[in-house]
Chains A and B, each alone.
Chain A
Amino acid sequence: MTLKITRASDPITVERLNTVIYGPPGLGKSSLAFTADTPLLLDFDNGSHRAANRKDTVRVENWSDVAGITPEDLAPFKTVIVDTAGRALDILTADIIRINPKHGRGGALTLQGYGELKSRFTSFLKLLNSFGKDVVLIAHMDEQRNGDDIIERLDVQGGSKGEIYKAADAMGRLVIANGQRRLLFSPTDAAFGKNPGQLPPLDVPNFTEPEFNTFFGSVIDRIKARLNELTEDQRKAMAEQQWFRDTLPKVSDADGINGLVGRAKEGGTVCKSLLHKRAEEIGLSFDKSKGEYVERQKEAA
């Protein structure tokens, strides 16, 4: 057994996204997902017929229905909708136990079986991504009561819920208030969410409005655009931190340190901390009254 430790690698451009939509039953999660770009819905839950704007759909009864999916099968589509992710995991669980009964006990997975579930579910999503598809995972919402408070979370059985939290690049919940449906990505004390797109609460257009037809596709595009801006930020921040790591060991006096204060401030908390650490190493401390680093004994005098 070996843990291989490597240095972090360069950030990559985001081309494919795994998004989770969750919400109470009957609010139109599948209909919303169908407004993604050229979607194919994998109907694990046998409920797609209720969607107002139903498009191409494959009903999935067994995992073998999707296990052999090929790039050619998905060529006409840009988005794959897994409806629902919880039911997909249930069907995958059944398949794992069917193949190896020792991986199940009383219908639930053993620890080894659960490892298999994680591995196969993650591989399935990566396979879809490798075909160049965005993936939308739909989940029902569960309300967990805590006294007077209600916490909204994914309604997925057992440990497999963790796989969805891990797989999700973005996670939004569909809610309704005063007849208006809204899609909320930010987490709150009472609800889970992932909002890498920094999106405000989004009003979902009515089914009859033309903007509805492409609504979720545009949401995915906005999230990708924002993530790619952040990728560029990440590249710049990594480069600047590396510059400080390379440069600071060569700085050995107060003038050298003070000359870098402005750049470190621009570089953010990490660069400031690296600078401060180096200053302390060479016997300097920050004199607030002078606004600069000085040798420790001079400060005391």
Chain B
Amino acid sequence: MPLARVSNIEAYRQWVNWQPLFEGQEEPSVDDLVRFITIDEPSEAMLAGTAFHKAMELAQDGNHDSFEANGYRFILPDAAISLPAVREMRAYGNYRGLDVTGQVDAVEGKIVIDHKTTGKFDPERYLKGCQWKFYLDLFGANEFRWNIFVVKELEPKVYSVSAPQTLTAHRYPEMHDYCEKLAAEYLAFARVHLPADPTDFLLAG
């Protein structure tokens, strides 16, 4: 059974709905998307984000001035945040012949929590995405909660972190059908454009 990460389906969705951020920006090609899905080429921002997630995963209750992880240092803000004990959990589901998997940062009851680091707070970017819909569906949850941290690079591998901004989204009646439809579109794309061994390549990236 072909297997896809939620993040790759989101990359496909963004590719289909691509919009230029500035005049003259070149539209990504099929090859660009295939490369994104099949080759792990994290940007500096993604590496910093991964390090921050690692720190948040391991963070104990209490007061923290800074986090250090994967060679990165994060200067933390004056703020409070509640984090559930269940962190970094993966779930699987099947959508019209495509197995889909995704890992979330934390789960508490029927609330899924995702930490995001970003240079600019743009709630529409998160709300437009398909990831929260798949995660709610995969985990049988009702509410998706983003803790969004605006980060700024102070010097190489040292970032200041803003107080988290919380954005929520909720399960809605048409959500599962939406996920099934998008998964089917992704599978059709993958069968034509991704390399022959779907298990290897649909999972990569």
Query: Quick one: given A6-B82, A195-B170, A198-B171, are A268 and B59 in contact (CB under 8 Å)?
Result: no
Decide: B83 and A146 in contact? CB cutoff 8 A: no
Contact B61 A6 (CB under 8 A): yes
Which A residue sits closest to B175, measured CB to CB?
A186
Taking the complex as formed, is A192 at the interface, i.e. its CB lies under 8 A from any CB of chain B? yes
B80 near A233 with CB under 8 A, answer no
Q: Please give, as numbers and ranges, the residues of chain A lying within 8 Å of B26 by CB-CB distance.
A: none
Interface of A is mostly: mixed
Give the contacts of A58-91 with B (CB-CB under 8 A): none
The B1-30 residues at the A interface (CB cut-off 8 A) are 17, 19
Provide the residues of chain A in CB contact with B60, threshold 8 Å.
5
Of A8, A159, A192, the residue contacting B82 (CB under 8 A) is A8
A274 close to chain B: CB less than 8 A: yes
Chain B count of residues within 8 A CB distance of the other chain: 52
The chain A residue sitting closest to B67, CB to CB, is A3
A-facing residues in B102-139 (Cβ within 8 Å): 107-111, 121-124, 127-128, 138-139
Q: Which of A23-31, A202-210, A234-242 contacts B (4 or more CB under 8 A)?
A: A234-242
CA gap between A273 and B62 in the complex, in Å: 27
Residues of B within 8 A of A118 (CB): 165
Are B169 and A270 neighbours in the complex by a CB distance under 8 Å? no
Report if A297 contacts B (CB, 8 A). Answer: no
How many A residues are at the interface, by size bracket?
35 or more
Query: What is the CA–CA distance of A138 and B165 in the complex, to the nearest angstrom?
Result: 22
Residue pair A186, B173 in contact (C-beta under 8 Å): yes
Residues in B whose Cβ lies below 8 Å from that of A178: none
Per-residue CB contact flags for chain B residues 170-189 toward chain A (1 = under 8 Å, else 0) read 11111100000000000000
Q: Which residue of B lies closest to A277 (CB)?
A: B89
Q: How far, in Å, is A190 (CB) from chain B's closest CB?
A: 10
Contact residues of B with A, CB < 8 Å? 17, 19, 59-65, 75-86, 89-91, 107-111, 121-124, 127-128, 138-140, 142-143, 161, 165-175
Assuming A3-B78, A4-B63, A237-B110, what are 4 further A-B pairs, CB within 8 angstroms? A2-B64, A3-B64, A11-B109, A234-B111
What are 13 of the A-B contact pairs (CB < 8 Å)? Answer: A2-B65, A3-B78, A5-B59, A5-B60, A5-B81, A7-B84, A8-B108, A146-B19, A196-B142, A235-B109, A241-B86, A268-B139, A273-B89
